[in-house]
Structure 1
Amino acid sequence: MTNGVVVKVSGPLVVATGLPEAKMFDVVKVGEQGLIGEVIEVHGERLSIQVYEETSGLGPGDPVISTGLPLSVELGPGLLEGIFDGIQRPLDVIESTMGSYITRGIDVPALDRKKKWEFKPIAKKGQKVSGGDFLGSVQETVIVEHKIMVPPHISGEVVEIYEGEFTVTDVIAKIKTDSGDIVDVTMMQKWPVRMIRPYKQKLPPEEPMATGQRVIDTFFPVAKGGSACIPGPFGSGKTVVQHQLAKWADAEIVVYIGCGERGNEMTDVLLEFPELLDPKTGEPLMKRTVLIANTSNMPVAAREASIYTGVTIAEYFRDMGYSVALMADSTSRWAEALREMSGRLEEMPGDEGYPAYLSRRIAEFYERAGRVVTIGSDNREGALTAVGAVSPPGGDLSEPVTQATLRVVKVFWALDASLAYARHFPAINWLTSYSLYSDTVEDYMNQNISGNWKELRAEAMRLLQEEASLQEIVRLVGIDALSTNDRLILEVARSIREDFLHQNAFHEVDTYTSLNKQYRMLKLILMFYEESKKAIDSGVVFSEIENLPVRERIGRVKYADEKDMKIFDEIESELKQQLKALMEGGKAE
């Protein structure tokens, strides 16, 4: 370690000198309290340091100590169920030892150094191993088996491996490298947050990440290993959508980053997740979740690091072969932290004051998502799916953060304030949203759910688009000017919107819909359309079709239990009978 001194303090930005060996992104300790900071600019002997804590009281002449290491996270057993701040300090541990507020300069290890874990070896003595190979496993929670891997860039022969209870810093194996050195391996790794963890090959995302949200899974799916963004104005439901994805997405591990959001929203997560049961195992969802909390009242500088902290933890679990879902809420607050630090560095601003490198930083984050063949000799696959919320001021999607994000991500879930005000949730606009994974996902759905999935989806989207055109005519000349077939299109589109796309996140059944049930629901609505067209062609009056008793059952089928799929056969049969009775001139039962 080398010592320097503070020259200037400007908010979270500190200028120091006297550290000739310090490099970009090295971690330093600033002041008598040892505030954590990171070197973000080097001009000869003058360093610009981003301090991740409140800098009041600092002044010229205060000491600066360089650790010589980049900002890194600790990776090992103890991550799951953990609640960390933006630089991976365990908030639950700090709260239990120091109280409700984070003491400046507090130095608490991210992973518990005293807790012992039952390590079960997989590798054998004398076995050749390389980076990413499994040495053994720890049952971290009742849901997740934590694989202990050989650190990247290490390969050689296992000369010793132990079994029993160990802390994360105890030696569990010794590896003789190709150069003849003996390396002690513990259950904990450290990895720089700004460096992508290595992998063998990136694979095309082909399998959908089922979320249980009908508007997403059916119309705008995201693939495992894909990337998506949720832009929308205040109050349009971004956070609720991300909570739903975190709860129900088809992922084995969830990493949720609260990046600059209000404290009450993170409080909701902290209170809900331990209470919510994982639908696959019946255990609390926290058993497979890592929370990164950097709320709006925490230091803005640490907000910028929180995104990298979260994605590095997600990559670590991906390397074990797990499917990981990463939620970042919201990247706009993260971009604002970039803007503030850029302004204090007096850099040339880009659009709306954001730094000129905003697009590159956003791209670097989303490019860390992907479905990959991990390092290791077994060629296992892992997936990291990244979903970021964007909070454009006033819902203006032309602002720089939204536009830079859209150039990178493949799925765009556009939240609409008018839908939110109409109490239609999720408020995802079906006319402006899109998914570039639709074609590959449709192949999967056709093979695993139904062969006509693609046709049903296309027909439903056509009806919704036609409804938008017909609504313009209705506003101009009234609904009486429409033909009977056009009025039927409006009625069916309304059914798609209200009975299929609208979903109640707080209803115990409607909050989640399996892919099979989504298919049956959409098939039922479109069957009503096809059968009604036949009835109209045979001379049945539209008002009679509109008032069929079966219409109420179609509208309420979303509340049917997932195990009760026979109800769809019953409603389809009832629909045909009632329409047949109309066509024969009798009364529908």
Structure 2
Amino acid sequence: MELTGNIYGINGPIVYLKGNLGFKMSEMVLVGKQKLIGEVISLTKDTTTIQVFEETTGLKPGEEVISTGSAISVTLAPGIIGNIFDGIERPLKEVAKQSGAFISRGINVSSLDTQKLWDVHITVNIGDYIYGGTIIAEVPETSAIIHKSMVPPNVEGTVTKVASDGSYTINDPIVTITDNEGNEKVLTLTQKWPIRIPRPITKRYSSDRPLITGQRIIDTLFPIAKGGTAAIPGGFGTGKTMAQHQLAKWSDADIIVYIGCGERGNEMTEVLEDFSKLVDPKSGNLLLDRTTLIANTSNMPVAAREASIYTGITLAEYYRDMGYHVAIMADSTSRWAEALRELSGRLEEMPAEEGFPAYLASRLSAFYERAGFMRNLNGTEGSVSIIGAVSPQGGDFSEPVTQNTKRFVRCFWALDKSLAYARHFPAIQWLTSYSEYISDLGPWYSNNVGTDFVDCRNQLLSILTEESKLNEIVKLIGSDVLPDDQKLTLEIAKVIRLGFVQQNAYHPSDTYVPMEKQLKMMRVILYLYTKAKQLLALNMPMSLIREDAVFDKVISIKYDVANDELEKFDDYIKQIDEFYERFIKTNG
């Protein structure tokens, strides 16, 4: 039975109904004459409270609110990949056809195209017993992704009818089953799932393989595991969005879900235009063929912004259930937290630090905990990795969103303003960043890259840390008074910073670097360090050693050695040996 009520009070996006009308928590409702989409967020015996996902201007007390009987859900079917949605899965291209550049209130569009015909291959037969997660059909959704339509998690039974392979819409019946109680149920390519409830799994695995990104400072120094969580905090202009672009383009995830949560409209437009033109380096097709975008700009209603990251993670979990590895780029969780703060203020809840609600930490943890490397209900394995950008005001990492995010992520890539202003990108500050995955991933590196990979990585970080300590002394008394071994540390640290940590996103050989090349670069740098130390042990002066061109040659390896020319690294080892011999002969 359809439940109805009348608006008693309105406070921005919050609407109150008087009395207990039988509505349920988290139920989706239609508000007012324009049937604005809303969600029940609080129930008492006297009041029903609803948050509205659209602009409430013009809404009046007395207007009717109608229940739908179901929770806020996303439609899951072919057509998600390559599409651009708002925070509650309304396709922006279809919205634009009906209402132009801005979303009209109460606009009613299907989340996915219900008229398009898809080439469907049925994968079950009459008599098969199928259950939640069983793949019943395969559809080539894009040139890069085969969409595997599954039985909804709470459905099971014996197949009694099967459609033949052919062209179908997402709502056409393709399989009919009879459940254990003798009831018939028709299955289509479509299922719905509430956004606030994680999709079920069979098992969660520990993190034992990295998400390869091709970015040296990430893959080598601060890696993220497949199914892992990472935060990229940074002030304005430090390169958060660019870093996420690089990760979306080059990471070895099968599918990218990009959530633009509360970002500026012009920045989001740039993202949408860039993604529509970017070519996937792996397949040569458009990157959009394995990407879905959720655009929720800062001028859109705050309640929809709050819902957008749940919409994104639910879409990601759906593709994980098919056996894909999915990476989510959430840009930015600070804007999402600000939406929580505004809604909490409207609800007159007791504020915590800096006005954020007391449940900020639990909401952040619930979001990041939906990441993981899983065994799905159908026996396949898939993962959801979450990379969340954080935009602390003034670059202050002590504010609540950054601090609470640090509690729930295992990878922290702190962007530094001074590095960004010095044009050092990615502007990840190696002294304040960390990854807790390095010990878990050690065996993978040993087996797949090189047994000395982690040791080389630790030596590089140790040199960079030592440089930081020495710079404090240099600031006070200058570098001339340092002993030669410490001067060498500063020189090698410069080689590491310019030749390894810094990376050019626009250079064909440097924008993406395979793991094998990263290891060879580390070996060359450390070999140069070893040989220079041997020269110092023979009382060669550092003032002469540092003048040799070999230091600049090692810095330029990243440009001079292409990714398919790794044999050239032997030449660099020879050049370092020649540098060593040259000094012995000249000064011996």
Give TM class, smaller chain: over 0.9
Which residue of the partner structure matches residue 403 of structure 1?
403
Give structure 1 stretches of 5+ with no counterpart.
none
Residue of structure 1 equivalent to 2:129: 128
1:12 corresponds to which residue?
13
SS of 1:407's partner is helix
Q: How does 1:437-516 map to 2 (within 5 A)?
A: 437-516=437-516
Q: What residue in structure 2 maps to residue 96 of structure 1? A: 97
Q: How far apart, in 2, do the equivalents of 1:340 and 1:195 lie?
A: 23
TM-superposed deviation, 1:543: 2.8
Q: Which range moved further: 70-79 or 4-13?
A: 4-13
Deviation at 1:73, TM superposition (A): 0.1
Match of 1:194 in 2: 196
User: 1:519 maps to what in 2?
Assistant: 519
CA distance in 2, matches of 1:263, 1:509: 33
2:549 equivalent to 1:549: yes
Letter in 2 for 1:570: D
2:150 matches 1:138: no
1:497 is displaced (CA, Å) by 0.8
Answer yes or no: is the 8 Å Cα contact 1:294–1:306 preserved in 2: yes
Alignment of 1:336 with 2:343, yes or no, is no
Query: What code does the residue aligned with 1:517 have?
Result: K
Q: Deviations over 1:330-357 (max 9, x none)?
A: 1110011011111111111111111111
Number of the residue aligned with 1:56: 57
Per-residue Cα deviation, 1:223-277 (whole angstroms, up to 9, x for no partner): 0011111111111111111111111111000000000011122122211122221
* 2:498 partner SS: helix
Q: Is the 8 A contact 2:19 2:45 kept in 1?
A: no
Runs of 4+ in 1 over 6 A off after TM superposition: none
CA RMSD across the alignment: 1.3
- Cα deviation for residue 299 of structure 1 reads 1.0
Of 230-239 and 537-546, more deviation after overlay is shown by 537-546
CA distance in 1, matches of 2:336, 2:124: 41
Pairwise CA distance, 1:578: 2.1
Q: Describe the SS at the equivalent of 1:95.
A: helix
**Structure 2 counterpart of 1:204:** 206
Aligned residue for 1:68, secondary structure, equals strand
Partner of 2:263: helix, strand, or coil?
coil
Asked whether 1:539 is paired with 2:539, we answer yes
C-alpha contact 2:13 2:56 (8 A) present in aligned 1:
yes
Equivalence for 2:417 = 417
> Conserved in 2, the CA contact under 8 Å of 1:132 and 1:150?
yes
CA offsets 1:347-378 (integer angstroms, 9 cap, x no match) = 111111111111111000000000011002xx
Is the 1:539–1:583 Cα contact (8 Å) retained in structure 2?
Answer: no
Measured in 1, the distance between the counterparts of 2:160 and 2:363 equals 42
Q: How much does 1:45 deviate? A: 4.5
2:20–2:43 CA contact under 8 A, matched in 1: no
> What does residue range 221-240 of structure 1 map to in structure 2 within 5 Å?
221-240=223-242
Bigger shift: residues 286-295 or 170-179: 170-179
Query: Following TM superposition, by how much is the alpha carbon of 1:586 offset from its aligned partner in structure 2, in angstroms?
Result: 7.4
> 2:277 pairs with 253, 262, 275, which one?
275
- Residue of structure 2 equivalent to 1:25: 26
The Cα shift of 1:540 comes to 2.6
For residues 305-328 of structure 1, give each alpha carbon's deviation from its aligned partner in whole angstroms, at most 9, with x where no partner exists.
Answer: 001000000000000010000110
Asked if the contact 1:233/1:417 (under 8 Å) is kept, the reply is yes
Cα offset for 1:545?
A: 2.2
Rounded to whole Å, the distance in 2 between the matches of 1:23 and 1:350 is 28
Which residue of the other structure, out of 350, 360, 375, is the alignment partner of 2:362? Answer: 360
Q: 1:107 maps to what in 2? A: 108
For residues 505-547 of structure 1, give each alpha carbon's deviation from its aligned partner in whole angstroms, at most 9, with x where no partner exists: 2333322111111111111111110111112222333233212
Partner of 2:219: 217
Q: Which range is displaced more, 191-200 or 224-233?
A: 224-233
Query: What letter is aligned with 1:453?
Result: F
Letter aligned with residue 345 of structure 2: G
Whether the 8 Å CA contact 1:545–1:579 is kept in 2: the answer is no
TM-score (norm 1): 0.97
Matches of 1:282 and 1:541, distance apart in 2: 52
Q: Which moved more, 1:460-469 or 1:503-512?
A: 503-512
C-alpha distance in structure 1 between counterparts of 2:137 and 2:112, whole Å: 19
* Residues 182-226 of structure 1: CA deviation (Å, up to 9, x unaligned): 110010110000011000011101100011111111011000011
SS of match in other structure, 2:310: helix
> Which residue number in structure 1 is paired with residue 295 of structure 2?
293
Indicate if the aligned counterparts of 1:3 and 1:19 stay in contact, CA closer than 8 A. Answer: no
Secondary structure in structure 2 of the residue aligned to 1:482: coil
**Percent same amino acid among aligned pairs?**
49
Q: Which structure 2 residue ranges, 5 or more long, are not aligned?
A: none
1 CA distance for matches of 2:566 and 2:587?
A: 30
In the alignment, the residues of structure 1 paired with residue 97 and residue 544 of structure 2 have an alpha-carbon distance, to the nearest angstrom, of 66
The CA distance in 2 between the partners of 1:101 and 1:543, in whole Å, is 64
Conservation of the 8 A alpha-carbon contact between 1:4 and 1:19:
no
> Contact between 1:3 and 1:18, CA under 8 Å: does it hold in 2?
no
Does 1:347 find its partner at 2:349? yes
- Quick one: distance in 1 between partners of 2:514 and 2:162? 44
Q: Hey, what does 1:119 align to over in structure 2? A: 120
Contact 2:261–2:309 (CA under 8 A) maintained in structure 1: yes
| Mapping 1:244-323, distance limit 5 Å | 244-323=246-325
Contact 1:331 1:389 in 2 (8 A): yes
Structure 1 366/128 Cα, relative in aligned 2: closer, same or farther at 3 Å? Answer: same
In structure 1, C-alpha distance between the alignment counterparts of 2:46 and 2:65, rounded to whole Å: 13
- Verify: 1:327 aligned to 2:346, yes or no: no
Q: In the alignment, is the contact (CA less than 8 A) between 1:20 and 1:45 conserved in 2?
A: no
Q: 1:512 is aligned with what amino acid?
A: Y
Partner Cα separation in structure 2 for residue 97 and residue 351 of structure 1: 43
SS at match of 1:260: strand
Aligned equivalents of 2:441 and 2:268: distance in 1? 32
